[in-house]
A and B are shown apart, each in its own frame.
Chain A
Amino acid sequence: MNLVRLSLRMLRRDWRAGELRVLGFALVIAVGGMTTVGFFADRVQAALSRQGNQLLGADLIIHSDHPLAPGFREEALRRGLAVSTAARFPSMAVKDENSQLTEIKAVTEGYPLRGDLRVSGEFGQVQGLRPDRVAGAIPPSGSAWVDEKLMAQMALRQGDSIELGATRFTVDALITEEPDHSIGFINLRPRVLINAADLPATGLIQQGSRVGYRLLVAGEDGAVENFRAWAQPRLALGERIEGIRDARPEIKSALERAEKFLSLAALASVVLAAAAAALAVRRFTQRHLDGCAVMRCLGASQAAILGLYLLHFSVLGLVASGTGCLLGFFSQEVLALWLAEMVETELPAPGIWPGVHGLLTGMVLLIGFALPPLINLRSVPALRVLRRDIGTSNSHSLAGYALGLAALTLLFVWKADDVRLGISVMGGFVAAVGVFGMLGLLLIRGLARMRSQTGGALRYGLASIRRRAAASVVQAVALGLGLMALLALTLIRDDLLQNWRSSLPPDAPDHFLVNIQQDQLEPLAAFFDQHGLERPPIFPMVRGRLTAINGNPIVTEDYADIQARRQIEREFNLSWAQEMQDDNQIVEGHWWNGSDAGRAVMSMEEGIARRVGVGLGDTLTYDIAGSSLSATITSLRKVNWDTFRVNFFVLTPPGVLEAYPATYITSFYMPPAHMDVANKLAKAFPNLLVIDVATIIAQVHKMIGQVTRAIEFVFLFTLMAGLAVLYAAIASTQDERIHEAAIFRTLGARRGQLARAWAAEFAVLGGLAGLFAAAGASALGYVISEYALNLPYTPNPWIGLIGVFAGMAGVMLAGLMGTRSVLSTPPLVVLRRL
């Protein structure tokens, strides 16, 4: 009881004396970063699961890329289930001179089977929530219901008419809430809802049109499950079942990836905070050696001393972690504010688990990195009260830090939810620290040898680095970690953004024309001439479904990766070309030459090849309009998709695909002055899909901007943790420096001489740290670029130089500022204190 009071008193006093501020700050930052991401992810997950069943608009959906055999519908009805159908496809909506790419959904009676379709009669701007009601029915024939996006883009009012293909529809309601529309990161197109009975008259569905057909089914749980069991084995290629349990996997995986990335950014701050905490606790214990020796002298047992400090640090840990949780709670509100638009739904309040996880993180950090030096403190020899030179061995602490590293690795694996990623990131950190440490030791030895060739301040500086070789290496590595965070946040980030922007020139194609029929090639070319536009290159496109690899039929269930499965179930776009485009690059095999025309060979994009699990020499069989084609892969290509030019996953030489039915596709740049041409195109060729990627590019820009801001925000925590490490590293030799200064000054050294010697020492340390930081930041940039952003990484050639000079200047400045008070204290005062 008395010990508890004593411990709290010491904590209060140590805090007031500033002994624990770095440690407390590091913990607050680490926990704050973790909980910010945790709380935010929790809210998004809760939003997704709450909407789970409404998302589908049914209990079960059979998706298909062709009209579904009527047998499914009949069987569902026979089993007493409610059914409805929907067909979705992209098309242009035209009002006067204005046209927009929209997502059209044609539905039959009963839609939606689950959740509510809500509509409003209030068009235009409204204050607050738009008054709306449950629709209770589908649009009557001849009506189109639009969403707010389209209303805004086309300035629609109730009763306006819009053209969809060959039919004119009356806009008579605004959709305010709609189940089964994707709540995803990317939901770019405005939506139009029409009655399925009106669909044939529009003439929009033609050969090659990309239509997603859905059969919606709902009913008793058991009946739905039985129907699922009946339907599953009867599915043909291109058909799949989606139930509540596998709802929206693409959103889930997109969000999970975003969460993973943010988590890793937060974890980076945890690692830095761990380094700061380790340094701070080390200094704390060194300053408390005397106190512990006195207490041993006064009769305290080892257990009592350990208990005293454990309690001391546990209370500190809980308070700091709690503060971190609060900080996390408030800063996730900022994230939610920025990113809510992307999630397109009201976010529910966060749960308490992320807070509990945050507290746990803080305590793990503290125990892992504070316990080893504390255990040492316990065994301070009491004789130290008589002989101050008797310290304490740090043999336990090395093994102890291994415990801390293991705890951190577990944390990484848990948060990244990926054993390999967690271990490799952590391994990278440990390896970097190890390599930096070894290198630092060698460099310091080397520099110390040069000492005799230098003079004055530099010689004393080098001598003092050499004398504290181990501490200097720790200092340089810690400074390096802190500087690395700073470099990564400034240089690397700018480089990455610059890289991304420069990959898209201003006159890049911003319009795609899809679904061009063979007989439209001539009129289209004439249309371009007539409007004074350059004829763009037009590419043939044949749709085929992958049916076999090396003669073995494809079993989609063999693919664990959902994206791979989707890819395989969908039809591939195949094309042919003699020459390779300059935004393509062969990574394996050889491009064909003229004599290869007509040979059954193909070139595949490397990403899709990896996903499908094929490589050079594999023979793939496609089903194209009922007949099959086999061709062997002779090259793999890397494609730069960011150019927004037409590109294909699969290409063959000329003379292979010409016999099959093809549509054509092109992309072109439309100068702003010709904007009305898009509308004229849509009128002249109603089946053509004019895709205005200018708006898509703008939207992608905006989305990337939002994600970037979120990541930068989380990186703020990393930055602060980096600063904490810098501070802790400089403070770690402070006490020794105070002592040293007193002796030097007693011996007659002037302040300027001491300041110069220290400046030299800090400059050397900072230079070393800058070198490490540049190497580490480049590695980090490479990893982020290659694995997170999928951009080729061009290292900044100046980063080494900038790192070294910034390190020298920064550490020298910070170090001298930190030691200023030491220099201005009279030496006797210092010596008295010892």
Chain B
Amino acid sequence: MVDDPTGKPVVQTFALTKCVSTGDDQLTILEDINLKVNSGDSVAVVGASGSGKSTLLGLLAGLDVPTTGKVQLGGEDIFLLDEDARAALRGRILGFVFQSFQLLPALTALENVMLPLELMGAQDAQTAARELLQRVGLGMRLTHYPRQLSGGEQQRIAIARAFVTQPQLLLADEPTGNLDSATGAQIIELMFELNRELGTTLILVTHDEALSARCASRIRLAAGRVVD
């Protein structure tokens, strides 16, 4: 549990619980999760498969709805908002990096990075996207489509896309899970560099020991509960 009374929490959960019903049984995936992550922090969420890591990440981002409890994101109780308002809030303060990259195959590298800015209606999306792609070392690949790029390159585009809105909080779901270790190391380096440069808070779900070791703190989940 991360608790720094001097910092201002970016995200905070209160007795967060998620249950699903499988036929007659109730299956508890997450139980009574209370956590607080302050601005500029980096947190690794670790645990075995099925321990509820991804569910927690989904709830933090407001992608899923808890059974009980609440999540405050930037001081707002996100489950008091409707789905569209939550989407707008995500667009404003969150960035995402996924294990399977999740780039839109129909768009070029540049267009993929421009997408969140365009969805927000920002001016001059192209300049910002171009700069960030330069920053992640893909300045030469602007007009390539995801299919034409390697896994490491795709993940770098995804990172550029996540940072282009200068989010307060970056959520990453196994960002190195689909990459070999050398490429994974480069990706980790890149994320932490940007984290420092832009002052972004990081929450990572990972199996990768190297990655979790780089984080300032760790939350270990087992059977839906925080164990340390």
- For residue A382, CB closer than 8 A to chain B, the reply is yes
B25 to chain A, nearest CB (A): 19
| B111 and A9 form a contact (CB under 8 A) | yes
Chain A positions within 8 Å of B116 at CB level: 298-299
| B104 and A296 form a contact (CB under 8 A) | no
A5 CA to B125 CA, complexed, in Å: 12
Query: Which one of B57, B87, B98 lies within 8 Å of A296 (CB-CB)?
Result: B87
Interface-central residue, A9, A14, A383, by most chain B CB under 10 Å:
A383
- For residue B90, CB closer than 8 A to chain A, the reply is yes
| A386 and B120 form a contact (CB under 8 A) | no
A567 CA to B64 CA, complexed, in Å: 76
Main secondary structure of the interface of B (DSSP, over half): helix
Contact flags B61-101 to A (C-beta < 8 A → 1, else 0): 10110000000000000000001100111111010101010
| A386 and B57 form a contact (CB under 8 A) | yes
- For residue A684, CB closer than 8 A to chain B, the reply is no
- For residue B106, CB closer than 8 A to chain A, the reply is yes
- For residue A205, CB closer than 8 A to chain B, the reply is no
- For residue B115, CB closer than 8 A to chain A, the reply is yes
Interface residues of B in 93-149 (CB under 8 A from A): 94, 96, 98, 100, 102-107, 111, 115-116, 118-121, 125, 145
Query: Which one of A9, A299, A386, A832 lies within 8 Å of B88 (CB-CB)?
Result: A299
| A299 and B120 form a contact (CB under 8 A) | yes
- For residue A531, CB closer than 8 A to chain B, the reply is no
B187 to chain A, nearest CB (A): 17
Chain A residue, CB-CB nearest to B88: A299
Chain B positions within 8 Å of A302 at CB level: 83-84, 87
One of A287-295, A324-332, A755-763 contacting the partner = A287-295
State whether A383 and B64 are in contact (beta carbons under 8 Å apart), knowing that A299-B87, A299-B90 are contacts in the complex: yes
Contact flags A292-308 to B (C-beta < 8 A → 1, else 0): 01111111111110000
Contact flags A163-203 to B (C-beta < 8 A → 1, else 0): 00000000000000000000000000000000000000000
State whether A304 and B119 are in contact (beta carbons under 8 Å apart), knowing that A10-B107, A294-B102, A296-B87 are contacts in the complex: yes
Contact flags B143-179 to A (C-beta < 8 A → 1, else 0): 0010000010000000001000000000001000000
| A297 and B121 form a contact (CB under 8 A) | no
Interface residues of B in 17-74 (CB under 8 A from A): 54, 57-58, 61, 63-64
Chain B positions within 8 Å of A291 at CB level: 104-106
Chain A positions within 8 Å of B118 at CB level: 2-3, 5-6
Chain B residue, CB-CB nearest to A302: B84
| B96 and A298 form a contact (CB under 8 A) | yes
- For residue A659, CB closer than 8 A to chain B, the reply is no
> Interface residues of B, CB < 8 Å — how many?
36
State whether A2 and B125 are in contact (beta carbons under 8 Å apart), knowing that A9-B111, A303-B84 are contacts in the complex: yes
- For residue A457, CB closer than 8 A to chain B, the reply is no
Chain B positions within 8 Å of A300 at CB level: 87, 91, 119
A6 CA to B104 CA, complexed, in Å: 12
- For residue A17, CB closer than 8 A to chain B, the reply is yes
Query: Which one of A5, A294, A386, A834 lies within 8 Å of B104 (CB-CB)?
Result: A294
Chain B positions within 8 Å of A387 at CB level: 54, 58
- For residue A208, CB closer than 8 A to chain B, the reply is no
A379 to chain B, nearest CB (A): 9
B118 to chain A, nearest CB (A): 4
Chain A positions within 8 Å of B90 at CB level: 297-299, 382
- For residue A219, CB closer than 8 A to chain B, the reply is no
- For residue A381, CB closer than 8 A to chain B, the reply is yes
A290 CA to B101 CA, complexed, in Å: 11
Chain A residue, CB-CB nearest to B62: A382
- For residue A820, CB closer than 8 A to chain B, the reply is no
B147 to chain A, nearest CB (A): 8
State whether A385 and B106 are in contact (beta carbons under 8 Å apart), knowing that A6-B118, A300-B91, A302-B84 are contacts in the complex: no
- For residue A13, CB closer than 8 A to chain B, the reply is yes
A303 CA to B83 CA, complexed, in Å: 11
A290 CA to B107 CA, complexed, in Å: 13
Chain A residue, CB-CB nearest to B91: A299
Contact flags A638-665 to B (C-beta < 8 A → 1, else 0): 0000000000000000000000000000
Query: Which one of A17, A382, A832 lies within 8 Å of B87 (CB-CB)?
Result: A382
Interface-central residue, B88, B102, B125, by most chain A CB under 10 Å:
B102
A294 CA to B61 CA, complexed, in Å: 12
A6 CA to B87 CA, complexed, in Å: 18
Chain B positions within 8 Å of A296 at CB level: 87
| A383 and B58 form a contact (CB under 8 A) | yes
A293 CA to B102 CA, complexed, in Å: 9
Interface residues of A in 359-382 (CB under 8 A from B): 381-382
A5 CA to B121 CA, complexed, in Å: 12
State whether A386 and B63 are in contact (beta carbons under 8 Å apart), knowing that A2-B118, A298-B116 are contacts in the complex: yes
Query: Which one of B83, B106, B125, B173 lies within 8 Å of A10 (CB-CB)?
Result: B106
| A301 and B87 form a contact (CB under 8 A) | yes
A661 to chain B, nearest CB (A): 86
State whether A290 and B87 are in contact (beta carbons under 8 Å apart), knowing that A6-B115, A299-B120, A386-B54 are contacts in the complex: no
Chain A positions within 8 Å of B98 at CB level: 385-386
State whether A386 and B115 are in contact (beta carbons under 8 Å apart), knowing that A10-B106, A298-B96 are contacts in the complex: no
Chain A residue, CB-CB nearest to B122: A2
Chain A residue, CB-CB nearest to B84: A301
Chain B residue, CB-CB nearest to A6: B118
Interface residues of A in 273-321 (CB under 8 A from B): 290-291, 293-304
Chain A positions within 8 Å of B102 at CB level: 290, 293-294, 297, 385
Chain B positions within 8 Å of A834 at CB level: 100
A382 CA to B64 CA, complexed, in Å: 8
| A386 and B106 form a contact (CB under 8 A) | no
| A295 and B115 form a contact (CB under 8 A) | yes
Query: Which one of A10, A298, A383 lies within 8 Å of B119 (CB-CB)?
Result: A298
Chain A positions within 8 Å of B125 at CB level: 2
A381 CA to B86 CA, complexed, in Å: 12
Chain A positions within 8 Å of B91 at CB level: 298-300
Chain B positions within 8 Å of A14 at CB level: 106
State whether A297 and B96 are in contact (beta carbons under 8 Å apart), knowing that A6-B115, A10-B106, A13-B106 are contacts in the complex: yes
Chain B residue, CB-CB nearest to A382: B63
Interface residues of A in 367-414 (CB under 8 A from B): 381-383, 385-387
B154 to chain A, nearest CB (A): 10
7 contacts between A and B (CB under 8 A): A10-B106, A13-B107, A14-B106, A294-B103, A301-B84, A301-B87, A386-B57
Known: A13-B145, A299-B89, A382-B61. 11 other contacts (CB 8 A): A6-B118, A9-B107, A9-B111, A295-B104, A295-B119, A297-B96, A299-B87, A301-B84, A304-B119, A381-B64, A386-B173
5 closest residue pairs by CB, A with B: A299-B91, A13-B106, A2-B118, A301-B84, A383-B63
